[in-house]
């Protein structure tokens, strides 16, 4: 029977702990307080001469934030601090400074450490938690008339998760999840493009203008997502609707986040495209502001590059990537990537990653 190895990648669990790999062991309060620091710490001067470039990675969970610093020889340290949802840069930098402390570098000595960092990568559950906790922007949608309930209806399978067959077959048990965009924040527009990309019903621009004005001025939305049928084949109607929305913003003197589905997720299946566009409008801007704050704090230490993040399919990109919703699962995916690599190192094919 094949063996299985269980690996925990959750930064909240604390199973990985914080400390050093290659730089010695972590100091224990009390017991190590009287030990000679020179026995467990390498000289910062000696480190700076022998290892000039570093990688800084982060795993930010809902409870704890871990920052991992790796040198050119593969030696690493891990700092851990409570996550600060109101400003993630606080928890990030506290963890960063603790990691440097495990390297034998004080906060004063590490003020310019960022100049030696080759790249900094963020993974975490910030955007995912925004969606789960429904704490993102108040978002409205402008959609093809007749599809105003596309978000509130969703897919039938989404309402049956965890239900037994006896419950599924009795509609009175069915309960829809709370939508990110309630139906009262949806505005329908008369327009239609067929499956070949040919406009068969012209877009009624007056309806777009009225819908945008209603959402911005009356409903006080913070973001608008535009989702028209077949826009992935021909985006002409969506793009024109976006222009009208910007004109309305200028007239009202108010600016909101504006996303169009043909740029966020130019793929078939309107529900998938709608979900992606709404998440981009609802949660990506708050998450991006958090990432900018982290990048700003790193820049104060001399870090001269852009902060990177991990996408849901394992790629790494700049935090200015326009389709940032793809990084919503960066934390869990980062753990899977690490477990996959570890499996190749230890020669274990069967791994349960949690």
Residues 95 and 79: beta-carbon distance below 8 Å: yes
Same domain assignment for residues 119 and 155: no
Same domain, 273 and 295: no
Q: Work out the angle at residue 23's Cα, subtended by the Cα atoms of residues 18 and 24, and round it to the nearest 5 degrees.
A: 75
Domain total in the chain: 2
CATH assignment at residue 65: 3.30.420.40
User: Do 224 and 160 have their domain in common?
Assistant: yes
Residues 139, 280, single domain; the answer is yes
Residue at token pair 């826009």: 231
DSSP 3-state assignment of 158?
A: helix
Q: What is d(CA 214, CA 233) in angstroms, rounded to the nearest whole number?
A: 28
Whether 176 and 244 map to the same domain: the answer is yes
Conformational region of residue 304, where left means phi above 0, alpha means psi within -120 to 50, and beta covers everything else = alpha
Same domain as 143, residue 276: yes
Contact 93, 79 (CB under 8 A): no
CB 316 within 8 A of CB 254: no
The DSSP string of 29-53 is: TTTSTTS-HHHH---HHHHHHH---
**Helix/strand number for the chain, H first, E second:** 12, 15
Which residue has tokens 């349960």? 352
For residues 204 and 233, membership in a common domain is answered with yes
- Are residue 164 and residue 150 in the same domain, yes or no? yes
Q: Are residues 25 and 70 in the same domain?
A: yes
**pLDDT tens track of the chain, all 354 residues?**
555 555 555 544 444 455 666 654 444 433 333 233 333 344 444 444 345 799 999 999 889 999 999 998 889 999 999 999 989 999 999 999 999 999 999 999 999 999 999 999 999 888 988 898 899 999 999 999 999 999 988 776 555 666 666 766 665 556 667 899 999 999 999 999 999 999 999 999 999 999 999 999 999 999 999 999 999 999 999 999 999 999 999 999 999 999 999 999 999 889 999 999 999 999 999 999 999 999 999 999 999 999 999 998 889 999 999 999 999 988 888 888 889 989 999 999 888 887
User: Could you tell me if 248 and 162 lie in one domain?
Assistant: yes
Tell me if 271 sits within 8 A of 256, measured CB to CB.
no
What would the DSSP string read from start to end of 274-297? HHHHHHIIIIIHHHHHHHHHHHHH
- CA–CA dist 77, 99 (Å, integer): 6
Judge whether 92 and 297 are in contact, CB under 8 Å.
Answer: yes
Which of 284, 305, 323 is where one domain is finished? 284
- Provide the domain limits for residue 218: 135-284
- Please tell me whether residues 197 and 238 are part of one structural domain: yes
């Amino acid at each position: 029977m094949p063996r299985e190895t269980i690996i925990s990648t959750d930064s909240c669990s604390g199973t990985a702990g914080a400390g050093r790999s290659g730089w010695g062991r972590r100091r224990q309060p009390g017991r190590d307080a009287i030990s000679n620091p020179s026995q467990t710490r390498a000289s910062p001067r000696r480190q700076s001469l022998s290892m000039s470039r570093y990688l800084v990675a982060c795993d930010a969970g809902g409870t704890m934030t871990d920052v991992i610093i790796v040198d050119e020889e593969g030696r690493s340290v891990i700092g851990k601090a409570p996550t600060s949802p109101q400003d993630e840069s606080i928890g990030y930098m506290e963890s960063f400074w603790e990691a440097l402390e495990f390297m034998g570098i004080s906060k004063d000595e590490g003020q310019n450490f960022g100049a030696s960092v080759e790249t900094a990568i963020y993974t975490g559950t910030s955007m995912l938690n925004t969606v789960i906790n429904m704490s993102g922007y108040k978002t409205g949608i402008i959609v093809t008339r007749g599809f105003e309930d596309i978000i509130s209806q969703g897919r039938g399978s989404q309402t049956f998760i965890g239900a037994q067959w006896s419950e599924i077959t009795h509609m009175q048990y069915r309960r829809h999840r709370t939508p990110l965009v309630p139906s009262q924040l949806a505005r329908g527009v008369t327009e239609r493009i067929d499956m070949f990309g040919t406009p068969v019903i012209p877009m009624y621009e007056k309806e777009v203008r009225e819908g945008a004005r209603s959402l911005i001025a009356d409903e006080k939305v913070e973001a608008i997502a535009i989702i028209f049928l077949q826009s992935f084949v021909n985006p002409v109607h969506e793009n024109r609707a976006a222009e009208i929305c910007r004109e309305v913003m200028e007239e009202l003197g108010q600016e909101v986040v504006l996303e169009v589905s043909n740029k966020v997720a130019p793929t078939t299946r309107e529900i998938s495209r709608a979900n992606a566009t709404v998440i981009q409008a609802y949660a990506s801007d708050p998450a991006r502001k958090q990432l900018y704050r982290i990048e700003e704090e790193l820049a104060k230490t001399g870090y001269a590059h852009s902060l990177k993040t991990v996408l849901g399919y394992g790629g790494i990109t700049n935090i200015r990537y326009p389709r940032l919703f793809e990084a919503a699962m960066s934390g869990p995916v980062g753990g899977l990537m690490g477990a996959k690599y570890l499996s190749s190192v230890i020669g274990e094919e069967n791994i349960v990653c949690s």
